């Protein structure tokens, strides 16, 4: 008799949860996926999918459209490869360029909303289902939702983000989530014409100033979210990072911190003042941003190292298990790798090749080792004076030039 395929519950329809759902769909493994918000969920901006593009495509069902053409945030410009530039001295005349080799097989810079839409193809997401608790009894798992309903299955995956309720159920007690000692001002601005082209010339996908100016602390990041209107307009976003004293970013005091209490106009004024210490070309995007383009509530940088997880029928993926700051482009791609590895593990269970405990133990060991390493490197990229080259010391990001002409 053939083995019974497990019914998998996925709490969270972000990119990791949706990618896992697609991999289960390809294997004809039953699943239910739940999302706390509505279908207007657009959290995040752009994401670098690097090193796993071909493996992802091979793991998805055949009815999905081509990945790169569907999600590439530069697609309005034609077949233009992703490109990242580091300006280690805050000097617009010289920098280090990294990016794809033009094949869109090593690195795809995806607009997150387009990627989520792509991953939602033929997936029945149950919206308005915020997970609040979970439990395992024998060979069954139950997840309870804020609306008073619940769902039962054979395996539960917590893909419910930084403040994961599934993590708290698996690991009761003090949360290991750490708030990093940085404040962040963030802005969004659409640009067109020459202003857009000047930004794209600095780094089509993103560029970073580290330090933001000689003798400065922190860093300054500018990213392209998406190019629109046949390549004539683009939406940009930027982050200005300020190092703080440890006590200034205590989780209990975040609501009273200046980056939370200041108005958008005051935050913009502070950012503009800081931008005047930078190279004028590299910081122009700040001065182009209106007050209403300042993002509130502010971005809070957090990190999570988990030393281990109990082996059972409940597990985690993505930010729920390895939260990290965004400045190495590793958070989203590690969520996708988690989905790949967990999809393989559940596939082995469904085929009867291994039992649940063995599959989960193997998945969690690899996921935690890889994820914790990525968290450490991402925190180091923010907190320490790593050389600029180390920021994108990722095999898929081929160094394509040394000088920016």
Whether 397 maps to a domain, the answer reads no
What number of other Cβ atoms are within 10 A of residue 185's Cβ? Answer: 25
- The CATH number given to whatever domain includes residue 205 is 3.30.9
Q: Are residues 246 and 347 in the same domain?
A: no
Element spanning 286, H or E: helix 284-287
Q: Are residues 154 and 268 in the same domain?
A: no
Among residues 241, 271, 300, the one where a domain terminates is 300
Distances, alpha carbon 310 to alpha carbons 35, 337, 341, in Å? 25, 20, 18
CA atoms within 13 A of residue 158's CA, in its CB half-sphere: 32
What is the residue-level pLDDT of the chain in tens, covering all 405 positions? 467 899 999 999 999 999 999 999 999 999 999 999 887 555 678 999 988 999 999 999 999 999 999 999 999 998 888 999 988 766 666 678 888 777 777 889 999 999 999 999 999 999 999 999 999 999 999 999 999 999 999 999 999 999 999 999 999 999 999 988 888 999 999 999 999 999 999 999 999 988 777 777 778 999 999 999 789 999 999 999 888 755 555 555 666 678 778 999 999 999 999 999 899 999 999 999 999 999 998 888 999 999 999 999 999 999 999 999 987 889 999 999 999 999 999 999 999 999 999 999 999 999 999 999 999 999 988 765 544 445 555 554 444 433 333
Whether 264 maps to a domain, the answer reads yes
Q: Are residues 199 and 282 in the same domain?
A: yes
Q: Are residues 66 and 144 in the same domain?
A: yes
Among residues 249, 276, 300, the one where a domain terminates is 300
Whether 79 maps to a domain, the answer reads no
How many whole angstroms separate alpha carbon 159 and alpha carbon 316? 6
Q: Are residues 128 and 250 in the same domain?
A: no
Tokens of 368: 């935690």
Q: Are residues 280 and 322 in the same domain?
A: no
How many whole angstroms separate alpha carbon 337 and alpha carbon 343? 10
- The CATH number given to whatever domain includes residue 52 is 3.50.50.60
Whether 81 maps to a domain, the answer reads no
Whether 196 maps to a domain, the answer reads yes
How many domains are there within the chain? 2
Q: Are residues 277 and 319 in the same domain?
A: no
Among residues 300, 323, 351, the one where a domain terminates is 300
Whether 355 maps to a domain, the answer reads yes
Q: Are residues 227 and 317 in the same domain?
A: no
Q: Are residues 159 and 115 in the same domain?
A: yes
Whether 127 maps to a domain, the answer reads yes
What number of other Cβ atoms are within 10 A of residue 40's Cβ? Answer: 7
How many whole angstroms separate alpha carbon 10 and alpha carbon 32? 6
291 lies in which domain range?
Answer: 181-300
Whether 262 maps to a domain, the answer reads yes
Q: Are residues 163 and 190 in the same domain?
A: no
Q: Are residues 200 and 294 in the same domain?
A: yes
Q: Are residues 327 and 207 in the same domain?
A: no
């Amino acid at each position: 008799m053939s083995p019974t395929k497990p019914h998998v519950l996925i709490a969270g329809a972000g990119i990791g949860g949706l990618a896992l759902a697609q991999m289960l769909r390809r294997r004809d493994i039953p699943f239910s996926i739940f999302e706390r918000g509505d279908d207007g969920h657009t959290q995040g901006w752009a994401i670098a999918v690097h090193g796993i593009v071909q493996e992802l495509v091979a793991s998805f069902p055949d009815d999905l459209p081509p990945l790169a053409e569907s999600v590439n945030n530069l697609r309005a410009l034609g077949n233009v490869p992703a490109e990242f530039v580091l300006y280690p001295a805050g000097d617009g005349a010289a920098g280090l360029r990294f990016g794809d080799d033009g094949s869109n097989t090593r690195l795809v810079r995806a607009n997150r909303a387009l990627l989520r839409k792509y991953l939602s193809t033929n997936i029945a997401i149950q919206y308005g289902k915020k997970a609040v608790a979970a439990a395992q009894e024998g060979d069954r798992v139950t997840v309870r939702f804020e609306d008073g309903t619940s769902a039962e299955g054979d395996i539960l995956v917590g893909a419910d983000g930084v403040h994961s309720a599934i993590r708290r159920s698996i690991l009761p007690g003090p949360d290991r989530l750490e708030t990093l000692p940085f404040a962040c001002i963030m802005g969004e601005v659409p640009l067109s014409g020459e202003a857009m082209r000047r930004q794209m010339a600095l780094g089509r996908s993103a560029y970073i100033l580290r330090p933001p100016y000689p003798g400065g602390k922190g860093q300054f990041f500018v990213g392209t979210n998406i190019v629109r209107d046949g390549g004539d307009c683009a939406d940009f976003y930027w982050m200005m990072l300020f190092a703080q004293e440890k006590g200034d970013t205590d989780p209990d005091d975040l609501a009273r911190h200046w980056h939370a209490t200041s108005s958008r106009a005051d935050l913009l004024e502070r950012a503009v003042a800081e931008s005047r210490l930078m190279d004028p070309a590299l910081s122009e995007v700040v001065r182009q941003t209106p007050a209403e383009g300042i993002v509130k509530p502010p971005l809070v940088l957090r990190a999570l190292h988990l030393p281990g997880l109990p082996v059972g029928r409940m597990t985690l993926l993505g930010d729920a298990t390895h939260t990290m700051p965004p400045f190495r482009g590793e958070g989203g791609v590690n969520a996708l790798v988690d989905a790949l590895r967990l999809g393989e593990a559940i596939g082995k269970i469904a085929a009867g090749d291994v039992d649940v405990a063995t599959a989960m133990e193997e998945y969690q060991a690899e996921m935690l080792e890889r994820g914790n390493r990525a968290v450490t490197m991402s925190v180091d990229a923010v907190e320490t004076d790593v050389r600029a080259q180390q920021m994108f010391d990722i095999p898929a990001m081929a160094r394509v030039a040394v000088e920016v002409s």
